[in-house]
Structure 1
Amino acid sequence: RTDVRSFPTAEVITSEPFQFDFDRIQETTIDTGTPVAVTAVSSDGEWAFCLTPFYWGWVRAEHITFGTREQVAEYANAAPFVMTTASRGTVALVAGGTVCTQMGTRLPLREEKNHAYRVGVPTRKLDGSLRISDGFIAKRQEHFTPGVLPCTRQTIFTQAFSLLGEPYAWGDSRMGLFGRDCSRLIRDIHAVTGIILPRNADQQEKVCAPVVLFYANMSDDERKSLLADRVPPGAVLAMPGHIMLYLGHVNGEPYVIHDTSANGFSSVIVSDLSLGATSPAGSLLQRLTTAVMIG
């Protein structure tokens, strides 16, 4: 797992002094085995500008291993495969050491044994070229599954609640610590079912099917009625700068699970939509713009 940066530097850039939780040039992260196309290299050779399946930006060159187009495509499209279903999973390399994967990461399945999966893991030779090394995953971890999980509401909710309480991390990295932000949570919990969403919240909103539009002049009661009557649990609720998974309502009061760094929280939480009512931005309910369905 490595960072994708707006510029070829590891320096932290913030909007306000000491606001280290929000490094504004931290775009996202890419995980073990993510195919990339390198289109440019920094003058010092330390950074490579990469196109990934869902983003682009600068990646440390030492974190990339180079293969032919055919080798990379074969690895990326390998079948059968195992899927990481936990927030993080551990793969033990036969040659020594471990690799950490995150929810939604696929690894080619080479052999299934009674107590373990043998998988292919991309590693880097001394000259930077690609080697596919053997790794083993203990089945008792229960952090991986062969193939994808069923694309059901139960799967999506189970995946989301498995991340409850996990610290928030803008661009998936908080001063180098593992985490997710709101849109990465939505992306990862769906990735385990084989649904590949864009990385950012506004892009996710655009590719999904709209169910309800919320207008600025709508009252709280009107918004709650629309959610209760027309929006199914498992839908995604969007607003400028934030996105959430809709859980349903209790006596007309809507609830969501989301990854937030606002209103005194900095983690994955379950809340109603009154959160933020006393803030300058207003409540989540009043900020809603759309409810959309994935798939």
Structure 2
Amino acid sequence: MFKLIRNSFLYLIVFSFYMVQATANSDVVSLFPIEHYDQKITSWIKPTDPNYNKPLLSKEIQEQRLKEFFEHYFGTMSPWSASFVNRLLEQSAPYNLKALEESLLNEFNNEGKSDHAIGYGENFRPYSKQWIRKIAQNIDLNQLDNLTYQSTNRAIAIDNLYARALPTHDVYFYHYKIPGQGYPFDNLQESALWAGTPVYILAQTNDKAWSLVLTPDYIAWVDSKGIARTNNNFVQQWKKAAQANMAAIIRPQTSLLNQQGQLLLTAYVGAVFPASRQQNTIHLLVPTANSQHQALINNVDVSTQQAVLMPFAATPHHFARVMRHLIGRPYGWGGAYFYNDCSAELKSLFTPFGIWLPRHSSQQVHVGQQVDISSASAKQRVDFLLEHGKPFVTIIYIGGHVVLYLGKFLNPNNPSAPMAMTYQNLWGLTPRASDKREVVGGSVFFPMLLEYPEDSSLISQADKSYFQIAYLDETPNLLHEFNSIDIKSLMSPVNN
């Protein structure tokens, strides 16, 4: 926890440096006037709507989704599954752990790189070869040879953690004068790992400070103090309880207190724990560690305003309940400060409904029935979305970014024309010259317009390189992709 506090303080220092620079370079960063667009939930999800409490998913589909979720966390595609881990460890070069870890070390090595590809620290200075060499020596790649599954390497996150591409808290920015780079885009930051998430320990650094772990979503380095090893008894008890009931946190920064009123940890939207419903509360099983850093189970009670049993009925009303606690939160690249980026926002939003989404935006559309209309014009794309989009269960991948469709509404800039309203966590918009970013910087209701009157030079989100639509109320046509092992994808940065 001390390291996370120290790391957060470092980020605040970096933030102040980069905001000064951004002010001095107004051509690179400006603020988009998001206040021009109504951010009240009741404006877009109306309690008076006759469909407000109508299920958006059939009972069969929602039950199927919950089973898939369980499999990724605790079942056949889980870090606790011997067969799943062995399939991962049996991969051969160039797609095995050692080769890919070596590739990451090369990726973050500044030697021989062009100016645009050089990485900088929080002091605006490029990293030296000694910096990457020290990290490589601490990893010791030889330990990744001939790995085999060991049940004692099963573990669980006992705190919220930063998932890193390499075992360091050092930031790695490209030059701040490159539009869309610099703060907050730390390229070593992959994701946030929530407490209660099962993991498998693949390796540790020589100093034991970092552990390379397989999670239900990716492979990354995490602070070793934030995970605890599990034994067979813990795993069986945890899985049995989760199979009976799981609960998802729906309010950020929910304090989880033990029976003596002591704070165990702070939970965020999308964190999942085995649970049972009491009269007016939800009873959670929460992991902690003993003095040998073995996992223990603690009992925690939270209110029904802080957590829900999964699957939460997928209605507009319930989506509004979860969004109420997410809307307006700042953008967090790769889960920085435990805020969300675009894909983490949707993953957090859909978790209470028992819908598992991958961590990477490009993969999330494969979880539903997919329609790819990337070859269509921007107008054709919007027209298709307005005609065929299903509110709350349609997500759209537009290349490096993913959004949720909320429905057809009147355009505030042209009341005679319809518009597609979306919910998304958005860093900013890019002009056609790509010489700056107009920053939104948070989770917002945002219309997908062909042109924004605030700045006609901005590229419409309907005019990006991709326009792939997925219906989450239908079974996917590419399910086989998630039954295969792609270590390269698991180890690639997952922060968009």
Q: What TM-score do you get using the length of structure 2 for normalisation?
A: 0.54
Equivalent residue number for residue 290 of structure 1: 468
Note the alpha carbon deviations across 1:108-155, whole angstroms, 9 max, x for none: 33672x554443211011111111122232x2x711123431133443
The structure carrying a bigger strand percent of its residues is: 1
Pair 1:135-2:300 in alignment: yes
- For 1:1-295, list aligned pairs within 5 A: 1-17=160-176, 19-69=182-232, 71-76=234-239, 78=241, 79-95=244-260, 96-109=262-275, 112=278, 114-137=279-302, 139=303, 142-173=305-336, 177-211=337-371, 213-215=373-375, 218-234=376-392, 235-250=394-409, 251-262=417-428, 263-274=438-449, 282-287=459-464, 288-295=466-473
Greater length-normalized contact order (CA 8 Å, ≥ 6 residues apart): 2
The structure carrying a bigger helix percent of its residues is: 2
Tell me which amino acid in the other structure corresponds to 1:46.
Answer: A
Tell me which amino acid in the other structure corresponds to 2:198.
Answer: P
In angstroms, what is the RMSD of aligned CA positions? 2.4
2:439 match: secondary structure = coil
Q: What TM-score do you get using the length of structure 1 for normalisation?
A: 0.88
How far is the alpha carbon of 1:34 from its aligned partner? 0.5
Whole-angstrom distance in 2 between the partners of 1:77 and 1:171: 32
1:206 match: secondary structure = helix
Conserved? CA contact 1:212–1:226, under 8 Å: no
1:74 match: secondary structure = helix
2:238 match: secondary structure = helix
1:36 match: secondary structure = strand
- Identical positions, percent: 22
Tell me which amino acid in the other structure corresponds to 1:108.
Answer: P
Whole-angstrom distance in 2 between the partners of 1:169 and 1:77: 34
Tell me which amino acid in the other structure corresponds to 1:52.
Answer: T
Change (3 A) 1:53 1:77: farther
Conserved? CA contact 1:160–1:257, under 8 Å: no
Note the alpha carbon deviations across 1:152-206, whole angstroms, 9 max, x for none: 3443354234311011001111xxx220010011111111011111111011022
Change (3 A) 1:270 1:117: closer
Conserved? CA contact 1:12–1:20, under 8 Å: no
Conserved? CA contact 2:255–2:263, under 8 Å: no
Greater shift in the superposed pair: 259-268 or 96-105? 96-105
Structure showing greater radius of gyration is 2
Conserved? CA contact 1:35–1:76, under 8 Å: no
Note the alpha carbon deviations across 1:29-84, whole angstroms, 9 max, x for none: 11111100001001111000000111110011011111125523531452234321
Tell me which amino acid in the other structure corresponds to 1:200.
Answer: H
Paired residues in the alignment total 287
1:265 match: secondary structure = strand
Whole-angstrom distance in 1 between the partners of 2:274 and 2:450: 43
Change (3 A) 1:147 1:227: closer
Whole-angstrom distance in 1 between the partners of 2:287 and 2:351: 20
Conserved? CA contact 2:381–2:467, under 8 Å: no
Runs (5+) with no aligned partner, structure 1: none
Greater shift in the superposed pair: 190-199 or 88-97? 88-97
Whole-angstrom distance in 2 between the partners of 1:72 and 1:213: 44
1:162 match: secondary structure = coil
Runs (4+) of structure 1 exceeding 6 A deviation are none
Whole-angstrom distance in 1 between the partners of 2:379 and 2:282: 52
Conserved? CA contact 1:224–1:252, under 8 Å: no
Whole-angstrom distance in 1 between the partners of 2:277 and 2:385: 47
Whole-angstrom distance in 2 between the partners of 1:53 and 1:242: 21
How far is the alpha carbon of 1:275 from its aligned partner? 8.0
